[in-house]
């Protein structure tokens, strides 16, 4: 391995000067900078990340804490983060959170404390009080993305507004019997209900429905999976007065709803309108109306925010809530028999 000493020797300067010339930190004349760079280039020198980190205290590495890396949404976010951080010279190390208590303890008590990263991006993971506390004492800049904890500050979509927008779309089409399929956070989750995403979407649903007193509103709890959405929808459709529209709290739930409708011979959108949330990659295939959340862009912004916290970039990260947008497709339409 070629070391900085080799480069310095080749350039005829001291190691210190070589370091300054290459990093751009501290003063150095244009001439020596040229010479050192040329030597480094010729020798194929690359600074050891590990030595550099130890000496400078800068790891040039950002940790991303994520459960469910294999869920499309988070994978997209991760891609966004990478696209923002790589050009700045930051590496990304992945901290995968599982349900295994021993694994979690090791992660929060050891892995995260090994000093490998300069900052942390925490993706929408339910965290215990203890885990939140451990993040707090890490002495690292932390950016959360949809983390349901007031202690972890970060970026979030206005999920209540999302719920309202989805519901308002159905109401505007003329629906007066709308069901919401979502997830109920347990009280023991430690999540702050005021920040919990499914809870907020449901709240938005309720707010919008309150504006239409003549409409019937119902809620069904389900897992955030295709199977969960399917079961919930089967239950709804089996009842005596099925709703004319369903607002599913995620696109995957919505896929399950579409499946249930198909199984039951319920025509979409003639007999049943369906709207999801996420902007999932296959939503277009299903012709599903949805609220796009731009997860890739969320990742980019989380990258912005952590860079800003590390003193890069210009000024403050945008504090505004993350954008979302209604994407109208073929699964929503006025209810049968309406004049809309």
Partner DNA sequence: CTGAAAGCGCTTACAG
**Should residue 16 be labelled a site residue for DNA when binding is judged by CB under 7 A?**
yes
Q: Which of 38, 48, 98, 129 binds DNA (CB under 7 A)?
A: 48
Selection from DNA, a second copy, none that 255 binds (CB < 5 to 8 A by kind) is a second copy
Q: What is the C-alpha to C-alpha distance for residues 256 and 230, in angstroms, rounded to an integer?
A: 4
Residue 54 makes contact with a second copy by CB under 8 A: yes
Give the residue with the Cβ less far from DNA, 7 or 222. Answer: 7
User: By C-alpha distance, which of 18, 84, 25, 13 is closest to 47?
Assistant: 18
Q: What's the token pair of residue 51?
A: 């030595």
| Residue 185 or 274 having the CB closest to a second copy | 274
Reading phi first (left if > 0) and then psi (alpha if -120 to 50, else beta), residue 61 is in: beta
Residue 96 in the binding site for a second copy (CB under 8 A): yes
Is-contact 256 228, C-beta < 8 A? yes
Radius of gyration for the chain, computed over Cα atoms and rounded to the nearest angstrom: 25
Q: How far apart are CA 105 and CA 97, in angstroms?
A: 10
Question: How many Å apart are CA 162 and CA 324, to the nearest integer?
Answer: 7
Distance in angstroms between the alpha carbons of the first and the last residue of the chain = 73
206 lines the binding site for a second copy (CB under 8 A): no
Listed in sequence order, the residues at least 6 apart from 176 whose beta carbon sits closer than 8 Å to its beta carbon are 212, 214, 215, 216, 244, 335
Binding mask 296-335 for a second copy (x = CB under 8 A): x---------------------------------------
Candidates 28-36, 84-92, 270-278, 320-328; binding stretch for a second copy (CB under 8 A): 84-92
Q: Is residue 59 part of the contact set for DNA (CB under 7 A)?
A: no
What is the closest distance, in whole angstroms, from the C-beta atom of residue 68 to DNA in the complex?
32
Identity of the residue, 9 or 134, whose beta carbon is nearer to DNA in the bound complex: 9
x/- letters, 115..134, toward a second copy (CB under 8 A):
xx------------------
Following CA atoms 309, 314, 318, 324 in sequence, which dihedral angle do they give, to the nearest 10 degrees?
-110
Using rule CB under 8 A, residue 61 touches a second copy: yes
The entry of DNA, a second copy, none near residue 61 (CB within 5 to 8 angstroms by kind) is a second copy
User: With binding defined as CB under 7 A, does residue 38 bind DNA?
Assistant: no
Residue 231 touches a second copy, criterion: CB under 8 A: no
Residue 51 binding a second copy, by CB under 8 A: yes
Binding to DNA by residue 94, rule CB under 7 A? no
Burial status of residue 225 (CB atoms within 10 A of its CB: 0-12, 13-18, 19 or more): middle
User: Is 49 a binder of a second copy (CB under 8 A)?
Assistant: yes
Farthest CA pair distance, the chain: 88
Cβ–Cβ < 8 Å for 224, 248: no
> Which residues of the shown chain bind DNA in the complex (CB under 7 A)?
1, 3-5, 13-17, 19-23, 25-29, 31-32, 45, 47-48, 51-52, 54-58
């Amino acid at each position: 391995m070629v070391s900085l000493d080799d480069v310095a020797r080749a350039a005829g300067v001291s190691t210190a000067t070589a370091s300054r010339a290459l990093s751009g930190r501290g003063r150095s004349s244009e001439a020596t900078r040229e010479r050192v760079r040329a030597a480094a280039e010729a020798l194929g020198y690359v600074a050891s990340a590990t030595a550099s980190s130890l000496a400078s205290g800068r790891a040039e590495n950002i940790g991303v804490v994520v459960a469910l890396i294999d869920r499309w949404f988070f994978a997209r976010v991760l891609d966004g983060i990478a696209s923002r951080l790589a050009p700045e010279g930051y590496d990304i190390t992945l901290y995968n959170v599982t349900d295994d208590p021993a694994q979690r303890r090791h992660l929060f008590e050891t892995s995260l404390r090994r000093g490998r990263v300069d900052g942390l991006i925490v993706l929408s993971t339910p965290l215990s009080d203890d885990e939140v506390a451990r993040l707090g004492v890490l002495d690292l800049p932390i950016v959360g993305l949809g983390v349901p904890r007031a202690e972890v500050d970060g970026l979030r979509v206005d999920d209540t507004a999302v719920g309202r927008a989805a519901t308002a779309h159905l109401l505007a089409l003329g629906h007066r019997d709308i069901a919401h399929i979502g997830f109920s956070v347990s009280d023991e989750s430690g999540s702050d209900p005021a920040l919990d995403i499914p809870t907020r979407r449901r709240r938005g649903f309720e707010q919008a429905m309150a504006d239409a007193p003549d409409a019937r509103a119902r809620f069904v709890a389900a897992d955030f999976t295709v199977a969960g959405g399917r079961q919930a929808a089967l239950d709804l459709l089996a009842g005596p007065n099925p709703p004319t529209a369903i607002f599913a709290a995620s696109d995957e739930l919505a896929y399950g709803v579409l499946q249930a409708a198909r199984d039951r011979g319920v025509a979409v959108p003639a007999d049943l309108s369906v709207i999801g949330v996420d902007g999932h990659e296959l939503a277009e295939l299903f012709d599903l109306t949805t609220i796009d959340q731009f997860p890739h862009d969320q990742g980019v912004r989380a990258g912005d925010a952590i860079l800003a916290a590390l003193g890069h970039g210009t000024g403050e990260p945008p504090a505004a809530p993350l954008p979302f947008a209604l994407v109208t497709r073929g699964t929503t339409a006025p209810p049968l028999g309406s004049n809309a």
